[in-house]
């Protein structure tokens, strides 16, 4: 657990010395390789290290993106990078170099001697590594690093090949418990250490079933045991364990379950209506806060490592200079990309993390409607809007399915939908057991209705926009791709467009036999084990023509009829649902009118 915690922290970019030491170590390893035959245990270790590396590749890519960038870039690119790392906006005035002379002065950390004489091309030969090291400089570093990585990969592959060959020749022990063992296990509380070992072993078998499975055992037997062990070890309900397991390969599923055991790092978003990130960072550092930029994909996010002051009660916090916000929460707003002077609707806005970001990106121009169906939650929404100084915002309290009847014609709409929360288990462990099959029917149903309503509320003729962003903090396909695919089928006047997000995995275009529209690939998935952010999903639509169902296009009756047809089609209501009999209704209406007048002491017959 400790090592994973460490992995979840973003490290500072390496100094040249650190970088070189790392490369020296790699080089020595390669040299030693030719001098000794690799014993089998050693190979096992290498193979598992290689596998771990492969599994964590994405984490390394993102959580250490600055490091990798630092390693792989030329000196010139590096200095550019360090200059832009804390750039809060494209049109920021030039920073005074003195302002940056703190621990965020990455230029200082990367500061190394120039050697303009060095050739820029790769200059390595297999037989003279020492000489190569001496000649290491910023220009050839990338090629050198690449060569070493290739050699290391080759070495690990060779070790794996040999290991597989050896395993094939040796009889394999069955990692699944025997019937006798199962009987014994049934009477005792689970031995978690043994369960964990078995989880790792089963995953290994499933990853290379042909070579590692015991004779006569089926894949299903291994999967079933693994799911039981996951429930015992991590505390999931069998239903949810299976649902989440099915999203990944067995090894990646394990990574996901493990990542859910820890909360994501604390992150804050700079409120650019009040300050700049570099000023905020400086102020917080002066108070004993240890922080770093979240990553190159955001110019406003800061990750907090530790702090001597409560982050939710500093004077900067009270002055609205930042908001505590999960990094994944920035993504839908970045995808929405609101423009100055637009009319934007945040359909499910409380407590306002995204609303206030939208407002900041619009520099308090135009108008942001911040709606939430839950009146109690609008209190925190209003409080955040005030604290962060958003003056272009109107708060409303409707069931968002009523839009666009309430108001339509928006340039952009964000639907950060209510969801099952399977992406935020690290934060809310109760999700592991509280979610049932019913949730994955009812919640997607609401999400579909909300999304259609969002589509119908956007102005297809908007000069600057016409976009809808749909997001959830769930990784369940029913709440993500399936909802998006439904909307594409029901509203042919929208299409999916690129989210514009620099990170994220492609949405599924098929899942367990279900095929989705090929463009669903444009949507983006986020997982705690790959990007060290909460599990999240983002899709961006563009409305290319008015909907048949837009309020200004169809009368209320037509709309109701269309909604009814849809509900019938989806099996939400039955065809034999009672029709209204207007004649019969008339009698009751008249009777009720009479009663009301009598109660008021008036004569019903005397009133026309
Ligand atoms: C995921 S949260 C929104 C978080 C918010 N966007 C933020 O960034 O702070 C989902 C919200 O949807 C609201 N909600 C649920 N059903 C709704 C509906 N039918 N119409 C509008 N809002 C709804 C909930 O009250 C909840 O505040």
pLDDT digits (tens, 9 = 90+) for 438-485: 999 999 999 999 999 999 999 999 999 999 999 999 999 999 999 999
Specify whether the CB–CB gap between 10 and 303 falls below 8 A.
yes
pLDDT value of position 166 = 54
Residue 239 backbone phi and psi in degrees, to 5: -60, -50
pLDDT value of position 4 = 34
Q: How far is the CA of 452 from the centre of ligand 1 (A)?
A: 16
For residue 147, is pLDDT > 90?
no
pLDDT value of position 604 = 78
- Report the side by side order of strands in the sheet with 289-293: 289-293, 301-307, 266-270, 322-324
What confidence tier does 189 reach under pLDDT thresholds 50, 70, 90? confident
pLDDT value of position 176 = 92
pLDDT value of position 435 = 97
pLDDT value of position 583 = 64
Averaged over 123-147, what is the pLDDT?
46
Measured distance CA(271)–CA(283) in Å, rounded: 14
* Residue ranges of domains in the chain, CATH in brackets: 179-261 (no CATH), 265-324 (3.30.70.1170), 332-577 (3.40.50.150)
pLDDT value of position 152 = 76
User: Is 351 labeled as ligand-binding?
Assistant: yes
Q: Counting Cβ atoms within 10 Å, is residue 327 exposed (0-12), middle (13-18) or buried (19+)?
A: buried
> What is the percent of the chain with per-residue pLDDT over 90, rounded to a whole number?
57
- For 211, the token pair is 């070579």
pLDDT value of position 570 = 62
The pTM score is: 0.69
Q: How far is the CA of 492 from the centre of ligand 1 (A)?
A: 26
Of 300, 283, 226, 278, the residue nearest 257 (C-alpha)? 226
For residue 300, is pLDDT > 90?
yes
pLDDT value of position 150 = 76
Catalytic residue among 231, 390, 419, 473: 473
What confidence tier does 165 reach under pLDDT thresholds 50, 70, 90? low
For residue 75, is pLDDT > 80?
no
The residue whose CA is least distant from atom 23 of ligand 1 is: 373
Q: Counting Cβ atoms within 10 Å, is residue 566 exposed (0-12), middle (13-18) or buried (19+)?
A: middle
For residue 151, is pLDDT > 50?
yes
What confidence tier does 156 reach under pLDDT thresholds 50, 70, 90? confident
Does the annotation count 396 as an active-site position? no
Q: What is the pLDDT of residues 17-58, one digit of tens each?
A: 333 344 445 445 544 543 443 333 344 444 344 444 443 333
pLDDT value of position 158 = 77
Residue of 326, 371, 373 with the most ligand 1 atoms within 8 Å of its CB, for mutation: 373
**Of 6 and 303, which is predicted with more confidence?**
303
If you count DSSP H runs as helices and E runs as strands, how many of each does the chain have, helices first? Answer: 26, 15
Show the DSSP H helices in 102-218 as ranges: 106-110, 129-134, 141-169, 179-186, 192-207, 209-212
Q: What is the pLDDT of residues 548-600, one digit of tens each?
A: 877 655 555 555 566 667 666 665 554 444 444 556 667 767 877 788 788 77
Does residue 354 have its Cβ closer than 6 Å to ligand 1? yes
Specify whether the CB–CB gap between 410 and 550 falls below 8 A.
no
pLDDT value of position 154 = 80
**Of 312 and 26, which is predicted with more confidence?**
312
* b/e code 94-110 from CB counts within 10 Å (16+ = b): eeeeeebeeebbbbebb
- Average confidence score pLDDT of the chain: 78
For residue 234, is pLDDT > 60?
yes
Torsion of CA 178, 180, 183, 184, to 10 degrees: -100
Does residue 380 have its Cβ closer than 6 Å to ligand 1? no
Averaged over 67-89, what is the pLDDT?
38
For residue 299, give the 3-state DSSP assignment: coil
Beta pairing, strands 412-416 & 467-472: parallel
User: Is 70 labeled as ligand-binding?
Assistant: no
**Of 279 and 136, which is predicted with more confidence?**
279
Measured distance CA(90)–CA(290) in Å, rounded: 26
pLDDT value of position 331 = 97
Lowest-confidence pick of 340-344, 512-516, 590-594? 590-594
For residue 440, give the 3-state DSSP assignment: helix
Q: What is the pLDDT of residues 383-423, one digit of tens each?
A: 999 999 999 999 999 999 999 888 899 999 999 999 999 99
Question: Which single residue is written with the structure tokens 């444009």?
Answer: 522
């Amino acid at each position: 657990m400790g090592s994973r915690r460490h992995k979840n922290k973003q490290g500072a970019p390496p100094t040249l010395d650190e970088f070189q030491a790392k490369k020296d170590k790699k080089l020595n390893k390669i040299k030693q390789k030719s001098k000794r035959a690799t014993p089998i245990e050693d190979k096992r270790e290498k193979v598992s290290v290689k596998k771990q590396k492969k599994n964590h590749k994405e984490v390394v890519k993102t959580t250490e993106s600055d490091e990798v960038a630092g390693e792989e870039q030329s000196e010139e690119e590096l200095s550019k990078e360090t200059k832009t790392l804390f750039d809060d906006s494209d049109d920021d005035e030039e920073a005074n170099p003195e302002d940056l002379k703190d621990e965020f002065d990455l230029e200082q950390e990367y500061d190394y001697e120039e050697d303009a004489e060095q050739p820029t091309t790769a200059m390595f030969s297999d037989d003279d590594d020492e000489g190569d090291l001496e000649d290491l400089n910023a220009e050839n570093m990338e090629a050198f690093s690449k060569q070493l990585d290739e050699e290391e990969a080759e070495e690990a592959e060779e070790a794996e090949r040999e290991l597989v060959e050896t395993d094939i020749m040796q009889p394999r022990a069955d990692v699944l418990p025997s019937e006798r063992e199962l009987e014994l296990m049934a009477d005792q509380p689970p031995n978690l250490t043994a369960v964990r070992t078995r989880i790792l072993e089963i995953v290994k078998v499933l990853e290379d079933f042909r070579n590692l499975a015991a004779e006569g055992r089926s894949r299903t037997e291994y999967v079933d045991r693994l799911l039981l062990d996951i429930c015992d070890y991590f505390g999931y309900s069998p239903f949810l364990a299976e649902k989440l397991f099915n999203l990944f390969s067995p090894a990646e599923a394990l990574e996901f379950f493990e990542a859910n055991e820890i909360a994501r790092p604390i992150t804050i978003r700079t409120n650019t209506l009040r300050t700049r990130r570099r000023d905020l960072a400086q102020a917080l550092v002066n108070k004993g806060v240890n922080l770093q930029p979240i990553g190159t994909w955001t110019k406003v996010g800061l990750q907090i490592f530790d702090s001597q002051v409560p982050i939710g009660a500093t004077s900067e916090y009270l002055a609205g200079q930042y908001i505590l916000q999960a990094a994944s929460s920035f993504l839908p707003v970045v995808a929405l990309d609101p423009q100055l002077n637009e009319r934007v609707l945040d359909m499910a806005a409380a407590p306002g993390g995204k609303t206030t970001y939208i407002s900041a990106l619009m520099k308090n121009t135009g108008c942001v409607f911040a709606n939430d169906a839950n009146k109690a939650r609008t209190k925190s929404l209003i409080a955040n809007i005030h604290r962060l100084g958003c003056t272009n915002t109107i708060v409303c309290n409707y069931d968002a399915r009523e839009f666009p009847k309430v108001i339509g014609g928006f340039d952009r709409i964000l639907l950060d939908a209510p969801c099952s929360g399977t992406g935020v288990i690290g934060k809310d462990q109760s999700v592991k057991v509280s979610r049932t099959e019913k949730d994955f029917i009812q919640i997607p149903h609401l999400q579909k209705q909300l999304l259609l309503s969002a589509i119908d509320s956007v102005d297809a003729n908007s000069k600057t926009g016409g976009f809808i962003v749909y997001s959830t903090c769930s990784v369940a396909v029913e709440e993500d791709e399936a909802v998006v695919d439904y909307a594409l089928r029901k509203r042919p006047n929208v299409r999916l467009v690129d989210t514009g997000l620099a990170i994220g995995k492609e949405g599924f275009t098929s899942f367990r036999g279900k095929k989705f529209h090929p463009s669903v690939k444009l949507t983006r998935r986020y997982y705690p084990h790959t990007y060290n952010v909460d599990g999240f999903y983002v899709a961006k639509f563009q409305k290319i023509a008015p909907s048949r169902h837009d309020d200004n296009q169809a009368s209320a009756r037509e709309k109701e009829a269309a909604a009814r047809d849809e509900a019938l089609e989806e099996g939400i209501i039955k065809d034999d649902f009672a029709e209204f009999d207007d004649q019969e209704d008339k009698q009751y209406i008249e009777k009720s009118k009479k009663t009301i007048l009598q109660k008021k002491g008036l004569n019903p017959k005397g009133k026309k």
